[in-house]
Amino acid sequence: MLKYFLYAAVPAVLALATFVWLIVALVRQCKSWRIAVGVFGVEILLLAIGYFVYFTPVEYPRTYLDEPAPETGSLAEIAREKSFYIGAAVNMADNPAYRKLVPSEYNSITPENYTKWRQLLANEAIGNYDFSKADAIVDYAVENGVRVRGHTLIWGKFSGRTYPKELDNLIAEAADPPAELRRIMQEHIQTVMTHFKGRITVWDVVNEPLSMDGVYLDENIFLNTLGRSYIAESFRMAREADPSAQLFINEQFGNYAGELVELFFDLLEWLLEENVPIDGVGIQAHNIFKTHNLDEFRQFVQRVADLGLLVEVTEFDARIRLFGEEPDPYQAQGDYMAEYARICIENPACIGFTVWGLSDASTWFDWVTPVNRMLPNDPLLFNVNLRPKPAYTKIRESLRNRP
Ligand code: G3I
């Protein structure tokens, strides 16, 4: 991340500022335009180098065998024996990889997008549900004895993306905003959980309650209208809607220690003190610009377990370019991924490890800026040919050793 800012983002901002300086100098006919041209030239050169370093696709040697997975002892098979879930996010029911790898390799799936509030609505109109895309994904899994994680009921981070934009207007215009928000949340949670009752057995009830910018809770429409009790209320509504479903809070952490983590544990402790019906913590684990400290991760998992809560790694991926300086990047990526998974698999409180995509052919990194330009991403467990990558064998071994 730091390198990206140093080489690409910082020169880009400086070049833009210098360009403005140049234009102003020219308009005012100041002599400083010559200096501006010189500075601008140097910045453009730096930018070109940055772009060359970061945005030129590279190819790393694939020393691992590009062969099909062994016929027996697949990940899903061993996971089932050990009451563990190896999962993947699935975006489209008709993705051929879905039929190829589920149920053979994955015994759990998460609809990547189609059980989100906005994507469940026809024309993004609140209350106007169209479950067809989600049903197609969910039904295939259920017919094949695969567990489905529901993702996600309440997610406040970005208006119009993580929840329907219409909600902002409805709440702004409501005579009693808290009451109106509670009514809409309750209706949403009730409708969706009832629709999937018996098919989706675990839900990310609240997603990303922490801020990305500082040590505080994300200041979204739910927090601003109801205070932190929006989290507690969401869980209560969810338990009432489907008492048999497991209920998770799902979060992404840049670090597994530090002030933000303490804030998260304060939140968990408060929820437990208030007897809020929460069953577990989902850890997203997107490794975008850096890998995580695995000792801190191990302690984090144990700390959640000590509170009597379950844990799942819900959205793992690790870009191959994070391992680009290693002698064998794909092997190093596999070692990291397997080690991360092992920490979860070894802890009895951790019941699932889900990767955020079926294979390297379908990863959100390939369309999101800037990493869609920093190719390859290849962050997952199977390559684009749906062949197992180096983490595969090691994860099987960890599963076999699960207590
Ligand atoms: O399909 C269009 C594509 O045609 C277009 O070129 C592209 C440009 O914007 O947009 C594509 O649609 C995007 C879709 O993902 C593609 O899969 C949507 O705009 C975009 O909003 C959607 O983003 C999803 C994002 O959550 C927001 O809901 C990602 O797929 C999904 O992987 C991501 O998942 C989140 C988890 O829910 C929560 N944790 C973080 C994780 C990663 O951001």
Ligand 1 atom 24, closest CA: 113
Rounded Cα distance between 64 and 198, Å, is 40
166 neighbors 209 (Cβ within 8 angstroms): no
Share the mean pLDDT of the chain: 95
Cβ–ligand 1 distance for 275 under 6 Å, the answer no
In angstroms, the first-to-last Cα distance of the chain is 37
| Spacing, Cα 367 to ligand 1 middle (Å) | 8
Gap from CA of 141 to ligand 1 centroid (Å): 22
Which ligand 1 atom lies nearest to the CA of residue 151? 37
Domain ranges of the chain: 2-55, 63-400
What gap in Å lies between CA 250 and CA 309, rounded to an integer? 13
Query: Is 90 in contact with 102 (CB distance < 8 Å)?
Result: yes
Answer with the residue of higher pLDDT: 44 or 365. 365
**Predicted confidence (pLDDT) per residue in 90-144, tens digit:** 999 999 999 999 999 999 999 999 999 999 999 999 999 999 999 999 999 999 9
d(CA 115, CA 153): 8
Distance (angstroms) between ligand 1 centre and the Cα of 115 equals 13
- Which percentage of the chain shows pLDDT scores above 70? 98
Q: What ranges in 221-288 are assigned the alpha helix state H? A: 221-226, 229-241, 259-273
Average pLDDT over residues 345-367: 98
Tell me the one-letter amino acid at 148: V
φ, ψ (nearest 5 deg) of residue 347: -95, 120
Ligand 1 pocket, mutate which of 121, 124, 206, 367 (most atoms under 8 A from CB): 367
Ligand 1 pocket check for 317: Cβ under 6 Å: no
372 lines ligand 1 (CB under 6 A): no
User: In one letter, which amino acid is 311?
Assistant: V
The two three-digit tokens of residue 272, written as one number: 């437990």
| pLDDT(282) > 60 | yes
Is residue 284 lining ligand 1, measured as CB closer than 6 Å? yes
- Whether 380 has a pLDDT exceeding 80, the answer reads yes
Beta strands in 8-161 (DSSP E): 85-90, 108-111, 147-155
- Token pair 């929006």: residue: 230
Q: Is residue 367 lining ligand 1, measured as CB closer than 6 Å? A: yes
Ligand 1 closest atom vs CA 118: 28
Judge whether 95 and 136 are in contact, CB under 8 Å: no
**Residue type (1 letter), 365:** F
Q: How far is the CA of 45 from the centre of ligand 1 (A)?
A: 33
Instruction: Please tell me whether the peptide bond between 111 and the residue prior to it is cis, using omega within 30 degrees of 0.
Output: no
Return the ligand 1 atom nearest residue 119 CA: 28
Residue 182: its pLDDT value, please? 98
Distance 313 CA to ligand 1 centre (A): 19
Question: What CA–CA distance (Å, rounded) separates 39 from 316?
Answer: 42
Number of residues that make up the chain: 403
Report the pLDDT value the prediction gives residue 159, as an integer from 0 to 100: 97
Q: Which atom of ligand 1 is nearest to the CA of 89?
A: 32
By three-state DSSP, how is residue 87 classified? Answer: strand
Residue 6 has pLDDT above 70, yes or no: no
**H or E element in which residue 247 lies:** strand 246-251
Protein residue closest via CA to atom 16 of ligand 1 = 364
Tell me if 364 CB under 6 Å of ligand 1: yes
CATH number of this structure's domain 63-400: 3.20.20.80
Q: Whose CA is nearest to atom 12 of ligand 1?
A: 367
Of ligand 1's listed atoms, the one at least distance from the Cα of 252 is 39
Q: 3-class DSSP state for residue 32?
A: coil
Among 112, 115, 371, the mutation site with the greatest number of ligand 1 atoms within 8 A of its Cβ is: 112
Distant-in-sequence contacts of 40-49, Cβ < 8 A, 24+ apart: 40/15, 43/11, 43/14, 43/15, 43/18, 44/15, 46/7, 46/11, 47/8, 47/11, 47/12, 47/15, 49/7
Q: What pLDDT score was predicted for residue 396?
A: 98
Ligand 1 center to 365 CA (angstroms): 9
Nearest CA to ligand 1 atom 5: 367
Q: What is the pLDDT of residues 26-76, one digit of tens each?
A: 988 888 898 989 988 888 888 887 777 778 889 999 999 888 898 889 999
CB-neighbour burial class of residue 336 (10 A; exposed 0-12, middle 13-18, buried 19+): buried
pLDDT given at position 378: 98
